[in-house]
Amino acid sequence: MVRFFSLLVSLFSLQFALAQTQKIPFQPMDVFALEWATDPQISPDGTQIVYKRNGFDIMKDNAKGNLWILNTDGTSHRKLTSREVSESQASWSPTGNRIVFSSTTDEGSEIYMYWTATGQIAKISQLEKSPSSLTWSPDGKWIAFTMFIAEKPPVVAKLPEKPKGAKWAESARITDRLKHEADGSGYMEPGFTHVFIIPSEGGTARQLTSDNYNHRGNLSFSPDGKEIYFSSNRFEDWEYRFRNSEVYKVSVDTQQITALTSQDGPDHSPQVSPDGKTVAYLGFEDRVQDHQNTLLHLMNSDGSNKRIISSNFDNSVSDITWGSNGKGLYFMYDEKGNSKIGHITTSGKITKLADNVGGTTIGRPYASGSYSVSQNGTLVYTQTRPEYPAELAVIQNKKESRLITNLNADVLAFRELGKTEEVWYKSTFDGRDIQGWIVKPPFYDASKKYPLLVENHGGPILNYGDRFTAEIQLFAAAGYVVFYPNPRGSTSYGEEFGNLLKNNYPGQDYNDVMDGVDYLVEKGIVDNDKLYVTGGSAGGIMTTWMIGKNHRFKAAAVIKPVVNWISKTLVADNYYGYAEKRYEGQPWENFETYWKFSPISLVGNIETPTMVMVGMNDLRTPPSESKQLYHALKLRKVETVLVEIPETYHNIAQRPSNLISKVAHILAWFEKYQ
């Protein structure tokens, strides 16, 4: 009898275990469990990788990240230090015996050193502000970096001193700058970013650049360590030439600065060749249009013999790194919604090395990712697929890529994700091939017709791709077929395609999205009577435009939109950048065009029940834009609600709870109109 009872218990335990391991759809709280890799840095000899391992803190509701290290075969995977604070910007010394990184302290971010032989760490700086762009000198004796230096604000009024102990109002903020605020950080403290150098053994930082100009971006030493190359805009009217930057070099000994480029456009990201004779950099001559490909240039180290080596490549080049033999460079690019790593010789021959780079934009499937290459050509990069966010992948000896981490096995192995499929269809406007993706609900049944949820991407000069996306997986888990297209104006399809919206936005990108909807309806995948639409930023613009142009959607969720180009252009943090590039002239010079392309001009035609959502601190598409749409719909008695997310800038989903809240509000609104 006891044995029989024991057998029953065993069978029950087995059934329970099987039930426990049965896959379920992706859940909102799974967002807090996700982890992803960023900024992998491979050792010079190609044997070890240090990277930042990121996740979400469920108690503090924010992202967190520490440095981890592992061998290139995936073994010996461990935390770099025992500290539980933010760590980033890891970089191997030229000989691989040390790793420099930045980390938070009670006083702010500082520069730290890690010794690989002993595992010891030490803080080597005492800085006023946070350091960026940590860069080793070739002899390993110095660390160059950039740092912001505050300046006094312009004096407008002298106030009397307040009585001791009195609690007066906050002091007025005073600015005379063209750009004085930035979405994500708010008011910009007066001051400028400069290049510094500090001994790698610790000591006093020495400022190398001066004058009231910003010196930002990556740094690159000459092989002898006597000069540092950087980018800046050191023109007297630099504020109004905001699209321009040049490549410079500064003498470490004398602080003399020499300009090396002069074309009107954004020249940046200099990288000195191993022999020091050639400097590679990125940029283009500005034609003032919506999208231009970023080109790879070479020049002699003194600025002579400039030439473009990527002119026959119809995609933007980014994140360049010289190969150890100096015969070519590694780089990243996006092609048809997929991020890749390539190699280009100094004569311009291009070879693709890796696909599927990215996975660090957890919410939606935007381009992202990074890579690093060792002296022997071993390549490590962040890889993503629709089934997982950024993991580390390695390519050695020209063999196939292989994953060496599996950071989310504890969660995603037990989730049934929606299957992502690429779709192509024809534009009814001009016959162009348009690309998009659909994500089907978990446990998809091909015999059924599902409701369609259209997710429009932001930008609009950006691209979606076949990358992991928590938000879209949550939509699919709720029973929708999710369609996310790359209409004209999207990047990664060549310069001409990306520039089709110049002086015409929103334009035929509307047709491209609706053609995709019709394609899915005709294929019998979705129910034409159950169409829903959403999107954020430029996606919010498109969503508003769509419901102003037709009445096919049962409900819409307009997230952080622009609805009035006249008001938005002069209120947003990037107000100075629209004239000529987006539309001809300033709003007061070309009122009719700015109004013509404003979605609010179509509000009299909107009948679709519409949720409007915005972050209350949004400086890119200010809350006043969302309120204009909401108020107009209320006056017209269209079903609508306004959702305002407190203490949030443009990136509503930056905090994981807000990502979950955003999706939950959208789904709740759509469920009202099933």
Band (pLDDT 50/70/90 cuts) for residue 18 is: very low
Cβ neighbours for 71, distance < 8 A, ≥ 6 positions apart: 47, 48, 49
* The residue to which tokens 């990125």 are assigned: 282
Cis peptide upstream of residue 460 (ω within 30 degrees of 0): yes
Whole-structure pTM value: 0.94
Instruction: Average the pLDDT over 561-581 and give the result.
Output: 94
Under DSSP, the state recorded for 662 is H
Task: Give me the torsion for CA of 313, 316, 321, 323, rounded to 10°.
Answer: -10
Beta bridge partners of 608: none
pLDDT tens digits, one per residue of 67-102: 999 999 999 999 999 999 999 999 999 999 999 999
Question: What's the rounded Cα separation, in Å, for the pair 572 and 463?
Answer: 23
Mean pLDDT of 21-39: 95
Q: Residues 404, 410, 412, 416: is their CA dihedral positive or negative?
A: positive
Q: What is the CA radius of gyration of the chain?
A: 27
Please tell me the predicted confidence (pLDDT) of residue 171: 85
More confident of the two residues 247 and 157: 247
Share of the chain above pLDDT 70, in %: 97
What pLDDT does 105 receive? 86
Give pLDDT, residue 509: 98
Mean pLDDT to the nearest integer, 403-429: 97
Give me the pLDDT at residue 581, please: 84
Tens digits of per-residue pLDDT, 530-548? Answer: 999 999 999 999 999 999 9
Give the DSSP letter string of 463-505: -B-SS--HHHHHHHHTTPEEEEEE-TT-SSS-HHHHTTTTT-S
State yes or no: pLDDT of 209 exceeds 50.
yes
Mean pLDDT of 142-162: 90
Share of the chain above pLDDT 90, in %: 92
Identify which has the larger pLDDT, 94 or 578.
Answer: 94
Contact assessment for residue 538 and residue 457, using Cβ atoms and an 8 Å cutoff: yes
Q: Which residue type occupies 147?
A: M
Residue 55 has pLDDT above 90, yes or no: yes
**Strands of 257-259's sheet in order across:** 215-221, 227-232, 246-251, 257-259
Give the pLDDT of residue 4.
35
The answer to whether residue 7 scores a pLDDT higher than 70 is: no
Residues in the chain: 674
Whole-number average pLDDT of the chain: 95
- Which two structure tokens, joined as six digits, stand for 639? 């079903």
**Look-up of token digits 């091909």:** 446
Q: Binning pLDDT at 50, 70 and 90, where does residue 21 land? A: low
Assess whether pLDDT exceeds 50 at residue 12: no
pLDDT digits (tens, 9 = 90+) for 357-376: 999 999 999 999 999 999 99
Three-state SS annotation for 189-218: CCEEEEEEEEECCCCCCEECCCCCCCEEEE
Are 420 and 438 a contacting pair, CB within 8 Å? yes
pLDDT for the residue 5: 38
Helix (H, G, I), strand (E, B) or coil at 290: coil
Summarize pLDDT for 384-405 with one digit per residue, the tens: 999 999 999 999 998 999 999 9
30, 415 in Cβ contact below 8 A? Answer: yes
Relative to beta strand 191-199, strand 206-207 is: antiparallel
The average pLDDT across 139-157 equals 92
Q: Which residue has the higher pLDDT, 375 or 108?
A: 375
So what's the pLDDT on residue 155? Answer: 77
CA distance 331 to 378: 14
Cα–Cα distance measured from residue 378 to residue 369, given in angstroms and rounded to the nearest whole number: 17
For range 184-190, the mean pLDDT:
94
Any idea where the domains of the chain sit in the sequence? 416-563+598-672
Instruction: Grade residue 261 by pLDDT with cuts at 50, 70 and 90.
Output: very high
* Confidence at residue 1, expressed as pLDDT on a 0 to 100 scale: 37
If you average pLDDT over residues 606-619, what whole number do you get? 98
CA distance 38 to 135: 18
- For residue 20, the model assigns a pLDDT of 52
CATH of the structural domain 416-563+598-672, one choice from 1.20.1630.10, 3.40.50.920, 3.30.200.20, 3.40.50.1820 = 3.40.50.1820
pLDDT at residue 158 in the model: 84
Q: What is the pLDDT, as a whole number, of residue 409? A: 96
pLDDT digits (tens, 9 = 90+) for 271-319: 999 999 999 999 999 999 999 999 999 999 999 999 999 999 999 999 9
